[in-house]
Amino acid sequence: MSKLPEMLTIGQVAERSGVPHTALRFYEDRGLIASVRTAGNQRRYQRSVLRRLAFIRTAQRVGLSLEDVRDALAQLPDNRTPTKSDWERLSRSWKAELDARIDALYRLRDRLTGCIGCGCLSLRSCALQNIDDEQASHGPGAPQLKPVVEGGTL
């Protein structure tokens, strides 16, 4: 019957998670993880931080920003075990994001693959031709976008 939660030091978290201590402080700064402090001002982490970190790192590997991750994790309670509905909310919002990214990747890959099939020497009818659709809402810059990819060479 452990009443004391057995907190982890930053060094232990770094070692166990594989995340450098510098990054741990950085994540804390950005609100992705939390710690409590000892009387001497040292960080102590709940074990649950390890799972959060695994989450963060995995999400980053697939191209999500720390801000995305922070927003998602913000839906989970800091101080209690997440309920099923906590999970459902997080999961739903992530799923949409992940689905969108998977979809974009598929389209990119399939277009490329399609180009092998079509030979791509005459691109006028090639699937790649319409790839431009993708940038319609891409960041700042010139307004947009007469779809002007004519047949020719890449």
Partner DNA sequence: GTTCAACCTCGACCATGCTGGAGGTCAAGC
Partner DNA sequence: GCTTGACCTCCAGCATGGTCGAGGTTGAAC
- Considering only residues 41 to 100 of the shown chain, the ones binding DNA according to CB under 7 A are 41-43, 60, 65-67
Torsion of CA 103, 105, 108, 112, to 10 degrees: -120
Selected from 26, 57, 66, 127, the binder of a copy of itself by CB under 8 A is: 57
79/4 Cα distance (integer angstroms): 15
Q: Is 143 in the site for DNA (CB under 7 A)?
A: no
- Considering only residues 8 to 37 of the shown chain, the ones binding a copy of itself according to CB under 8 A are 14-21, 23
123/149 Cα distance (integer angstroms): 9
56/153 Cα distance (integer angstroms): 41
Strands 36-37 vs 43-44: parallel, antiparallel or unpaired: antiparallel
Binding mask 58-97 for a copy of itself (x = CB under 8 A): xx-xxx------------x---xxxxx--xx-xx--xx--
- Considering only residues 117 to 146 of the shown chain, the ones binding a copy of itself according to CB under 8 A are 119-121, 123, 128-129, 131-132, 134-136, 138, 140-146
* Shortest Å distance, C-beta 29 to DNA: 8
Q: Is 14 in the site for DNA (CB under 7 A)?
A: yes
Residue 115 site contact among DNA, a copy of itself, none (CB < 5 to 8 Å, cut-off depends on kind): a copy of itself
* Shortest Å distance, C-beta 20 to a copy of itself: 4
Q: Is 141 in the site for DNA (CB under 7 A)?
A: yes
Angle among Cα 49, 53, 58 to the nearest 5 degrees reads: 155
Check: CB of residue 129 under 8 Å from CB of residue 149: yes
Angle between helices 66-73 and 48-61 (to 10 degrees): 140
